């Protein structure tokens, strides 16, 4: 089946779809999307304990939970691609007969390592977010905390590299926009600016503690550190397909240069989940709607996503070279 071409403009449009929010503080996307209402569980036997947000601003708990959902989506996307023959055996990746951990002579170990490294980095991000939310870092508490365990992808996403690249680029662009907005919102909280409260619940506290101003500033710094890594992912993915100056197009995208932006295209967002401007089209979370709302081509979060490593799709040598820690407070 022929896959539709996806242009850069369409990627930009994806990041500016309608807001997650319908009404005041609720998500009108069915059971899967309602997981983004902080504290609501996918387990029907549990009692939801939603955290109320300000009417015009996100809370720290909402930001951290939305980021964990985004990271879980990223993990699922990279893992599925590395584990799907139709994608990984492309000549630009492992090549004919190759796998993620055994690249054929006709493939590219470097390009495969781009995806492997990104997977490990998204796992590290998710583990950090879980710790900030007071959840088990192995992911065992994700479902109860409202993190979807199934995501939905456009038709053809994992049918070929040509189907995968545009979707991954759209996702990474959305992640960058989300973390850029998180930087702004954590900073606004620390300064009690633009409707954001400086008194934010510490979701990892068992005694009802609040986040200090210094912690909110640190969270802004951490969000910017992750933003930089997500930007690197997008540039490296744009460098995977074989293109030339004379023929730079792949899947409807002009991929030369791979790092093609002076400024991020999502700099106009006005909120992560709740827009301070009142707009329903400029929230960072809106771009994740199609992947969370129940639809076609469901992909379950792999059990491997609950582990620190993915030995079935990542070589030990790549694991050893993916390092780094969060910024320190000043």
Mean pLDDT score, 159-182: 97
**Does position 103 have pLDDT exceeding 80, yes or no?**
yes
Q: How confident is the model at residue 133 (pLDDT cuts 50, 70, 90)?
A: very high
**Which pTM was predicted?**
0.84
What are 52-63's pLDDT values in tens digits? 334 578 999 999
Q: Which residue has the higher pLDDT, 325 or 74?
A: 74
Across the chain, mean pLDDT equals 84
| pLDDT for the residue numbered 55 | 53
Helix (H, G, I), strand (E, B) or coil at 284: helix
**Does position 161 have pLDDT exceeding 70, yes or no?**
yes
Transcribe 155-176 into DSSP letters. TTTTT-HHHHHHHHHHHHHHHH
| Residue 205, Cβ density class (10 Å: 0-12 exposed, 13-18 middle, ≥19 buried) | exposed
Radius of gyration of the chain (CA): 19
Helix (H, G, I), strand (E, B) or coil at 117: helix
| pLDDT for the residue numbered 256 | 97
Q: Measure CA 206 to chain center.
A: 27
| pLDDT for the residue numbered 265 | 85
**Does position 271 have pLDDT exceeding 50, yes or no?**
yes
Query: ∠162-168-173 over CA atoms, to 5°?
Result: 135
| pLDDT for the residue numbered 308 | 77
| pLDDT for the residue numbered 211 | 97
| pLDDT for the residue numbered 38 | 31
Q: How confident is the model at residue 51 (pLDDT cuts 50, 70, 90)?
A: very low
Q: Are 128 and 326 in contact (CB under 8 A)?
A: yes
What are residue 180's phi and psi, to 5 degrees? -60, -40
What is the token pair recorded at 176? 């960058």
Share of the chain above pLDDT 90, in %: 66
| pLDDT for the residue numbered 7 | 38
Q: Say how far apart CA 143 and CA 44 lie, in whole Å.
A: 11
Distances (CA, A) of 41 to 46, 54, 228: 7, 21, 31
| pLDDT for the residue numbered 318 | 96
Q: Are 139 and 149 in contact (CB under 8 A)?
A: no
Helices and strands counted in the chain (H then E):
10, 6
Count the residues in the chain: 330
**Does position 10 have pLDDT exceeding 70, yes or no?**
no
Q: Say how far apart CA 210 and CA 310 lie, in whole Å.
A: 35
Q: Which residues contact residue 85 at a Cβ distance below 8 angstroms, ignoring those fewer than 6 apart? A: none
């Amino acid at each position: 089946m022929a896959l539709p071409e996806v242009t850069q403009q369409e990627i930009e449009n994806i990041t500016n779809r309608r807001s997650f929010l319908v009404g005041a503080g609720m998500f009108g996307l069915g059971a899967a999307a309602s997981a983004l209402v902080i504290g609501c569980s996918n387990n029907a036997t549990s009692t939801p304990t939603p955290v109320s947000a300000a009417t015009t601003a996100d809370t720290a708990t909402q930001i951290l939970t939305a980021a964990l959902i985004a990271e879980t989506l990223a993990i699922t996307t990279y893992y599925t691609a590395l584990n799907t023959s139709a994608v990984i055996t492309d000549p630009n990746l492992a090549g004919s007969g190759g796998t993620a951990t055994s690249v054929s002579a006709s493939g590219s170990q470097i390009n495969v390592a781009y995806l492997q490294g990104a997977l490990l980095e998204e796992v590290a991000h998710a583990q950090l977010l879980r710790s900030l939310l007071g959840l088990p870092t192995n992911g065992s508490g994700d479902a109860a905390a409202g993190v979807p365990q199934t995501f939905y992808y456009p038709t053809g996403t994992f049918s070929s590299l040509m189907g995968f690249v545009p979707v991954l680029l759209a996702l990474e662009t959305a992640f960058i926009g989300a973390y850029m907005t998180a930087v702004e919102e954590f900073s606004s909280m620390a300064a009690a600016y633009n409707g954001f409260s400086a008194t934010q619940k510490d979701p990892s506290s068992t005694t009802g503690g609040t986040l200090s101003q210094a912690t909110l500033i640190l969270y802004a710094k951490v969000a910017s550190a992750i933003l930089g890594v997500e930007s690197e992912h997008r540039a490296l993915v744009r460098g995977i397909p074989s293109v030339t100056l004379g023929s730079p197009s792949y899947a409807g995208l002009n991929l030369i240069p791979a790092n093609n932006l002076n400024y991020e295209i999502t700099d106009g967002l006005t909120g992560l989940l709740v827009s301070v401007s009142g707009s329903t089209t400029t929230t960072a979370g809106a771009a994740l709607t199609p992947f969370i709302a129940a639809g076609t081509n469901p992909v379950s979060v792999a059990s491997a996503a609950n582990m620190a490593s993915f030995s079935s799709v990542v070589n030990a040598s790549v694991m050893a070279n993916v390092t780094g820690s969060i910024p320190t407070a000043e």
